[in-house]
Amino acid sequence: MRSRSSADESSDESEYVGSDLDDSAESDTDLTSVNICTADEDGDEQPCDSTDDEAISPSEDHPPEYYHQQLETFDEQEYTKQDYKDSSTRLLDRIEEQWNCCWKYLRKERFRDYATVSVGTLHTFFDWLLSQRRGKGGRIRRGTKLASSLGTYWKVFRLVYERATTVKLDGKLNRSMHKVLRKLAREHGLKKVGRDKACMYVEDLNQVLQTNLATSEKRYPHGRYRIQAQLYLQLGGFTANRPQALLSLCYQHIQVTLLRDPEGGPHRVLLEFTFEFTKEFLGIKDMNTFPLPEVIFDETLVFSPHVFLLGILFHDGAFAAYNLTSPNELSKLHIAPGRNELRLHLNQKLRNVPVFRKAVKTLNGWTISDTAPLPYSTLLPWIRSLGQITGFAEVTRPYSLRYGGGKAFNENGNVSEAMQNLMMGHASIGTFLKHYLSRRVTVDTQAVVRGLQPQDALMRAACTMSRSIDRRRPRRLTPEQSASVNEHPKVISLLERREKLKRTHGTKHLKYQELNRKINQERQRQRHALLQSVKERWEYEQPVRDVEQQLDGVEVKNDVDVIALLPVQKELVDATLARPGLSIIEEMCRRNEAICAVMRYCGIEEGGGNLSRTKRSSSHITLTSKSEDLAQPNPDNEALEDAKVSVYKDERPTICFLCLGNDKLPTQSRTYSFHTSGDLSKHFKRKHLQHIKEGDQLRCNLCRVDLEDEMHLRRHAHDVHGTVS
């Protein structure tokens, strides 16, 4: 969405007006070379007239006909229309489609013409829009709940009108519509107050970071995902950048430098992040660079982006110096006398490789893509899930980090208003006040009015997300609650229809399969509604029960299941939470051990009951032999040997030979025994054969043989390892 659509709207961007020649003595772009020959009366130099053939007919790569054709074919409309992001264009297209559907449904096609727009037609359109309960394909819509959403629809429609007519909507009509929107909000029961913008303060961020490291409730397909989540949370909190700007970081946007401490301390590792892909409107923004110096003797490494980013860089072999492969080599470096820095350049071949990358499924499970960036749709549920596991009542979102960081900048006396606008990418402080500042007052107004000493710590605690932490808060339905949705009247009706269809057409009929999908969708919808109801009841009833139990003398227990961590995850947690060293040498050892733990974790798969396995990446981003050794988990040799005997000797084994041969999986996942050989066959088809793509290199790591194609793999599985497919 563009940031400035009318004068009465606040803006998140400034209009691009080009560069001002008076801003500096020199211009970064030399458009032409001018010979200075004379001076005018004021002493200013003037360009001389030249009649040389070279000046009249400069050397060009294209003949005049090339530019003549440009003049004739130039489409000026392409450059005079408003410039929107793809996501904004889709939103405008959706409202325009709704506008056309409305008048088609009402059989008033003449009102589709924007020249007929009036208060009456707009009232009818938005009334129709708010009444819609079905979307494309007959899908049930959630409906509009908030008055602010109706206001957003109105703003988008104004942009649609402007895009179609090239003029803004009449100001008088705009003012009249405010009354119409209020009336419609009352008639449709829209809430006036929406959700508050939950700010993730540093106290809250600390809780989420520790949860991400130490929880086993949240299992990622690949170990690197947990490291990437940790790094994203750190950078999001420290820079307050938009999610997409962070996810678009590539290695070319990172500079690692060994910097001399001007106060005489040890050399510090300085990380500099240049955010190129910020929100743009009417031109390209200047890139912001955030320098983050290393903190020596930090109380905790949970907040250290140096540990987690350097772990990723060393794991990827990203440094240009071929022998800079581990933190131990980093500790040996020094800055020569007379210099203040030593730049640690990254490999130019990795310039366009994203730091945050997605995992893809292969024959053996999950592997990290070489080039595909991590999508926002993958990150969003991570942050939500971590907030739920931490125990927050509020829903955590990636933008919670931006809200919290922006508020910290705003309250800090060392950050000027201009610097805050620069860091946040805002045209003015008004954008922050209207769209980012929480509606919760964080000042001890009682103390201010009465002239008392403000209780700052208590007020801070009252405004954080951490005040609501309760790990007993329900996050999912119990099996009994989930099964209860089959008793809902809508589900019962659909099940009865399916039974009749089964008797008349059979289970393979298209109508039967379509009805199956509708039943599953309705069940999911009812489960979601039931979970929301369970959560709302718990929020009211559980505190009442706690009070009653305390007054009755009953001890209140926190019943939280504790699940054992993977050995390599325990090493990561222990290294990150280690206490600061007593000397510089001990502190450097603490940092290096934490970086090595991150390197190990980037090379493993977490596995889990519902997670696939991964294949060793054959990408150009490879580990050195030393870091490859670090990436190996510590398996139980006896269990592995017993499993190998089974997959070779048993006629119909129950252990998957592909999982067993994947040394990146935890031992428990590698040696997992299915209930029957038939269950193993289902697993083999679903988790391995299904993800074979054309051109994949197939290999049995146990037998150390390459396989030509899928049929060769199936034959090998049957003849050598007794796995039927």
Q: What is the DSSP string of 563-614?
A: -PPPHHHHHHHHHHTPPPPSSHHHHHHHHHHHHHHHHHHHT-B---TT----
Long-range pairs of 204-207 with CB within 8 A, sequence gap ≥ 24:
204/392, 204/404, 204/464, 204/465, 204/466, 205/233, 205/237, 205/303, 205/401, 205/404, 206/300, 206/302, 206/303, 207/390, 207/466, 207/469
Q: Determine the pLDDT at residue 520.
A: 92
* C-alpha gyration radius of the chain: 31
Largest interatomic CA distance in the chain = 103
State the pLDDT confidence band at 559, using cuts at 50, 70 and 90: low
- The segment with the largest mean pLDDT, out of 554-558, 628-632, 711-715, is 711-715
Q: Determine the pLDDT at residue 72.
A: 82
| Distant-in-sequence, close-in-space partners of 15: CB < 8 Å, separation ≥ 6 | 4, 281, 282
State the pLDDT confidence band at 694, using cuts at 50, 70 and 90: confident
Contact (Cβ atoms closer than 8 angstroms) between residue 356 and residue 199: no
Who has greater pLDDT, 476 or 36?
476
Look at residue 543 and give its three-state secondary structure.
helix
| Distant-in-sequence, close-in-space partners of 430: CB < 8 Å, separation ≥ 6 | 10, 11
Least trusted range by pLDDT, from 35-49, 83-97, 327-341, 490-504: 35-49
Helices (H), ranges, 317-441: 327-332, 376-390, 398-411, 417-424, 429-435
Which amino acid is present at 133? Answer: R
Q: Which residue is listed with tokens 């907040």?
A: 303
Percent of the chain residues topping a pLDDT of 90: 38
Can you read off the two tokens belonging to residue 80? 């005079």
Least trusted range by pLDDT, from 191-195, 586-590, 653-657: 191-195
Compute the distance between CA of residue 357 and CA of residue 352 in angstroms, rounded to an integer.
12
Least trusted range by pLDDT, from 170-179, 336-345, 350-359, 381-390: 170-179
Who has greater pLDDT, 444 or 79?
444
Tell me the whole-structure pTM to 2 decimals: 0.76
Q: Determine the pLDDT at residue 651.
A: 81
The helix (H) or strand (E) run that includes residue 225 is helix 223-239
| Distant-in-sequence, close-in-space partners of 263: CB < 8 Å, separation ≥ 6 | none
State the pLDDT confidence band at 588, using cuts at 50, 70 and 90: very high
Nearest Cα residue to 303 out of 390, 408, 225, 206: 206
Compute the distance between CA of residue 98 and CA of residue 129 in angstroms, rounded to an integer.
7
- The segment with the largest mean pLDDT, out of 37-46, 120-129, 144-153, is 120-129
Who has greater pLDDT, 88 or 615?
88
pLDDT, mean of residues 349-361: 92
Neighbours of 639 (CB within 10 A): 13
Q: How far is CA 311 from CA 358, 416, 599, 696, in A?
A: 17, 34, 5, 29
Contact (Cβ atoms closer than 8 angstroms) between residue 344 and residue 321: yes
State the pLDDT confidence band at 633, using cuts at 50, 70 and 90: very low
Q: Which residue is listed with tokens 């199936």?
A: 714
Q: Determine the pLDDT at residue 195.
A: 65
Compute the distance between CA of residue 350 and CA of residue 250 in angstroms, rounded to an integer.
8
State the pLDDT confidence band at 716, using cuts at 50, 70 and 90: confident
pLDDT higher than 70, residue 388: yes
| Neighbouring-strand partners of residue 271 | 256, 292
> What are the backbone dihedrals phi and psi of residue 37, each rounded to the nearest 5 degrees, phi first?
-115, -40
pLDDT higher than 80, residue 39: no
State the pLDDT confidence band at 529, using cuts at 50, 70 and 90: very high
Q: Determine the pLDDT at residue 306.
A: 95
Which amino acid is present at 206? Answer: N
pLDDT tens per residue across span 598-627: 999 998 888 643 333 333 333 333 333 334
State the pLDDT confidence band at 519, using cuts at 50, 70 and 90: very high
Per-residue three-class SS string for 425-486:
CCCCHHHHHHHCCCCCCCCCHHHHHHCCCCCHHHHHHHHCHHHHCCCCCCCCCCHHHHHHHH
First-residue to last-residue Cα distance in the chain = 51
Pairing of strands 365-373, 45-47: unpaired
pLDDT higher than 70, residue 671: yes
Using the 8-state DSSP alphabet, how is residue 413 labeled?
T
Nearest Cα residue to 241 out of 397, 403, 408, 354: 403
Give the helix, strand, coil percentages of the chain, each rounded to 5: 50, 10, 40
Contact (Cβ atoms closer than 8 angstroms) between residue 665 and residue 607: yes
pLDDT higher than 80, residue 34: no
For 495-572, where are the E strands, in sequence order?
A: none
pLDDT higher than 80, residue 167: yes
| Distant-in-sequence, close-in-space partners of 695: CB < 8 Å, separation ≥ 6 | none
Can you read off the two tokens belonging to residue 647? 């997959």
Average predicted confidence (pLDDT) for the chain: 82
